[in-house]
Structure 1
Amino acid sequence: MSLEELERHLWQAADILRGHVDAGKFKDYIFALLFYRRLCDVWDEEFEVLLAKTGDREEAADPDEHRFHIPPPHHWNAVRKHATQIGQHLNNAFAAIEDANLRLRGVFGDVDFANQERFPDARLERLLAHFEKHRLRNSDVPPDILGDAYMYLIEQFAEGAGKKGGEFYTPRQLVKLIVECLDPQPGMSIYDPTCGSGGMLLEAVQHLKNRGQDPRSLSLYGQEKELDTWAIAQINLFLHDIDDAFIAKGDTILDPKRYDPRAQEFTPGIGAYDRVMANPPFSQKVWGHEVWTNGDPFGRDVYGAPPRGYGDLAFVQHMIASLKDDGMLGVVVPHGVLFRGGAEGRIREAMLKADIIEAVIGLAPNLFYGAGIPAAVLIIRKAKPAARKRKVLVVNGDATFTPGKAQNHLTDANVRTLADAFRGFAEVERLARAVSVDEIEANGFNLNISRYVQTGADAEAMDVAAEAAKLQDLIAKRDEAEAVMFGHLKRLGYVG
């Protein structure tokens, strides 16, 4: 099958469940069945090759001879022999496969096909019959093609999920922009602390493939809080034929984890990586402020504690702490991080004085699913090249996009324009300028992009941006004063 045919085939499977399963959940069922079908088809393919080579059916079925072991009673073909209680047989198969393969523990998430009202046997029969229209062996569908089709499904589900879609999917072209700027090299370690469906890690792999370099030399790490999304990421990596990526479960801010290769398990703590990239949740209200107020147990609050209602700079500081001394990071942040005052203003000032912010790349509005607000990419490096010290490249990309019906997009040409501006680190009219830290300090350490680079937007729009900046500053000050007041009330015993 071509990629287009495969995408159409998989999307038709989703149509069978549409309207019968909650819109926010039915992707999990489709992903689980797709992965199950792929596992069984590849097992059959491996079995036939081994059987032709050895002539011994027992040896050809040896679990040690297969990438993943499929217990015979729980193979796709065995489940298909059942005409009733199909959902329960699927559940049993998923559990048995996870038990038989340590690397697959939790990969089917909390998918439950046993609810007869939601999944009557007739509907499941139709769904499984649809998946049988095409084999999914490696010889039929190479990993890159199947992986790309899976990414297509993720994007389609994200588009339909609205704001919730942004929780597990970042537009691929934006991911590509970050990877182009960070330019990972063979042998490097890559880390995404809020990895969603794994798109940034996979784009780093693709970056090396595009240059004819060995992507298997990369060491891939991540963490994801939402268990369903963690499962999506695991399947995504496996379908792309990547077995040795290590994705931890848990809250990155409150429970950060690093992989211990000797113990072959995750332990609490902060790792050190060559490249760190992420699209953390914007302005998270509940992120761990009460913990950081008393000092982060992992020592990540080098530049200060963010305010109660805005967790953005907690994620950024986690990423800085996770960076090797010669490493680079790229992180998506809402524009408010660039100009809000209060605690965020003090953190931004400390980071600028430490001279670790290399670039601020402003993005066009309405690039994200369910979120029309503009965002920016911060590029941070602990040890800047000599020519870039005491400077911050400001790139205004608010006019660098391609309009769409529901949302805007970045084309390959748009990505190239922004990435070339970063690499050039020079003035480009109406696009980019290298601004001295002294000039930024004179502006009160405000990084509002339009202060330094204007793209020709009219004066009224500029005034609106300035007023919005003032409003955000006042909100931050109010939140900070509120936190101080609650602290006093707590000490006086008026609040628990």
Structure 2
Amino acid sequence: MTDQISQDAINRTLWSACDTFRGTVSPDTYRDYVLTMLFLKYISDVWQDHYDVYKKQFGDNPEAIEAMLKKERFVLPKGTDFYTLYKERNTPGNGERIDKALHAIEEANDDKLKDAGKSVFQDITFNSDKLGDEKQKNTILRHLLEDFHKPELNLHPSRVGTMDVIGNAYEYLIKNFAASGGQKAGEFYTPPEVSEVLARLLNPQPGETICDPACGSASLLMKCGRQITRHHEGSKNYALFGQEAIGSTWSFAKMNMFLHGENNHRIEWGDTIRNPKLLDDNGHLMHFDVVTANPPFSLDKWGHEEAASDVHHRFARGIPPKTKGDYAFILHMLTILKNRTGRMGVVVPHGVLFRGSAEGKIRQKLIEENMLDAVIGLPPKLFFGTGIPAAILLFRKGRKANDVLFIDASREFTAGKNQNILSEENITKIVETYRSRTNVDKYAYCATVEEIKENDYNLNIPRYVDTFEEEEEIDLEAVRAERVEIKAELATLEAQMDAYLKELGYAS
């Protein structure tokens, strides 16, 4: 098993496995089955690889082999592996067998696959009527097991090499599900280019704690961790924290962390605004060096009725509108920032920049407290499920400067078939402009607080970055000459046409 396989080959084979469900089950349903099966297949292949190593090392000493397997990062109870399920695929009861295997795996690894009684596979059942009657369900799951048994999906570490290959495949699937997921896609995935921009702007350092209170599948959170690893000699000296309200998405985040080898993490399940779970031993909100999120845009029913009595005092600056929860997330994130080192990046719809009433008052207080560091306008059609443009707000605790940098990056992108993307050049320009904090014609402007005050604390980017392009002056003499030339050409063509018509006997 030394033959290597490319990332693209793994990705293509995984995506084609979805054909088993297409036309029978909706993508937001079969997504759970494909992602979970990838997780099961990978841990089965890792387990088998390590068993083979210990078998070669200890020969006919099953006690020694068993003792070594118990020290593994992950325990796979006998009979729960992918290959056992594959062997029994042609007999009735595939859904029940897979569910039992997943439950046994959870019980054997409760420190990794459970949080406060909530299990990773709790909202995912293969023995579901969503897959049809018993016969149809058994057939679909048989095909799924056969898809994952293909040689291309031999995921033994001795073959694929690094764990990143599997983590990348998982991210690939999540991205493709998001691309076809309609309005709900943004609930669980932030485009990698946007995550990259946030990670570079926030520049997390070794030893720091990083939190995403609306973490989805944890792609943004892990991008911040990889920023440290990439720029600090492979360092894993950081801790990742997150919370996610949707149960199945929380499961994706937990599996995603495992497949990327992120052991130092804590991902909680629950509503961040109504019931924040990242608390210290005294029941107080934990504080972090870096906080970042792409929370749901203008969330209705975010918890307005409970905000006035919030025990964590997150809404002292004001209570956001009942039907728009953007500032609820912003205020929560600011509350959990560490005082001196804390910095924050959040993706918001443009309405957050200029809407009045309660939001206007909150915005004014944040500017007066000198925590807002930058406002960055992004291109349209970057995010799955919506074509509207968004912005990034950057905040810092303990700022010395008394200004706000505005960047209009809305016109610089690479157009895709259905989705626009930020190129490496686009990303670098945003990050370098932010770090230099210099004015760039038609792109960036550093505004004083006095200027913002004169604009009634309205942060709408065109008020600060003038992108107006003067139209080129029209040369009327050149236009007249061109018109005369066209008329002459037209007269010549008319004469030729008359001649042709006479030859054909159509002369008037």
What TM-score, normalized by structure 1, do the two folds share? 0.88
How high is the sequence identity, in percent, across the aligned residues?
Answer: 39
* 1:158 and 1:166 in contact (8 A); partners too: yes
What is the match of residue 42 of structure 1?
A: 46
Q: Distance in 2 between matches of 1:406 and 1:87?
A: 36
2:398 to 368, 383, 403: 383
Q: Distance in 2 between matches of 1:234 and 1:317?
A: 26
What is the match of residue 304 of structure 1?
A: 318
* Pairwise CA distance, 1:75: 2.1
Q: Distance in 1 between matches of 2:326 and 2:408?
A: 21
1:4 to 5, 8, 21: 8
* Pairwise CA distance, 1:122: 2.6
Structure 1 stretch 301-310 or stretch 280-289: which is displaced more?
A: 301-310
* 2:42 and 2:166 in contact (8 A); partners too: no
Matches within 5 A, 1:59-208: 59-62=64-67, 64-82=70-88, 83-102=91-110, 103-105=112-114, 106-115=119-128, 117=132, 119-133=136-150, 134-141=153-160, 142-208=162-228
The aligned amino acid for 1:441 is: K
Q: Does 1:361 align with 2:376?
A: yes
Q: Distance in 1 between matches of 2:334 and 2:56?
A: 53
* Pairwise CA distance, 1:457: 6.2
What is the match of residue 433 of structure 2?
A: 421
* Pairwise CA distance, 1:81: 3.1
Residue 247 of structure 1 aligns to a residue in which SS?
strand
Q: Distance in 2 between matches of 1:24 and 1:457?
A: 44
* 2:380 and 2:388 in contact (8 A); partners too: yes
RMSD: 1.7
What is the match of residue 235 of structure 1?
A: 255
Q: Does 1:289 align with 2:304?
A: yes
| Structure 1 residues 382 and 151: CA distance shift in structure 2, 3 A | same
Runs of 4+ more than 6 Å apart: none
What is the match of residue 467 of structure 1?
A: none
Q: Distance in 2 between matches of 1:272 and 1:212?
A: 23
Q: Distance in 2 between matches of 1:57 and 1:173?
A: 49
* Pairwise CA distance, 1:268: 5.0
2:34 to 30, 37, 40: 30
* 2:238 and 2:264 in contact (8 A); partners too: no
1:432-471 deviation line (CA, Å, top 9, x unaligned): 1110001100110110100000223689xxxxxxxxxxxx
Structure 1 stretch 204-213 or stretch 127-136: which is displaced more?
A: 204-213
The aligned amino acid for 2:228 is: L
What is the match of residue 453 of structure 2?
A: 441
Q: Distance in 1 between matches of 2:9 and 2:42?
A: 17
* Pairwise CA distance, 1:214: 3.3
What is the match of residue 483 of structure 1?
A: none
* 2:405 and 2:434 in contact (8 A); partners too: yes
What is the match of residue 476 of structure 1?
A: none
Q: Distance in 2 between matches of 1:38 and 1:441?
A: 56
* 2:229 and 2:236 in contact (8 A); partners too: no
Q: Distance in 1 between matches of 2:194 and 2:397?
A: 23
Q: Distance in 2 between matches of 1:296 and 1:379?
A: 25
* 2:228 and 2:236 in contact (8 A); partners too: no
1:23-56 deviation line (CA, Å, top 9, x unaligned): 2111100011110111111111122222323332
* Pairwise CA distance, 1:383: 1.0
| Structure 1 residues 239 and 259: CA distance shift in structure 2, 3 A | farther
| Structure 1 residues 178 and 165: CA distance shift in structure 2, 3 A | same
Q: Distance in 2 between matches of 1:138 and 1:74?
A: 19
* 1:155 and 1:169 in contact (8 A); partners too: yes
What is the match of residue 350 of structure 1?
A: 365
Number of equivalent positions: 450
Q: Does 1:14 align with 2:31?
A: no
The aligned amino acid for 2:257 is: L
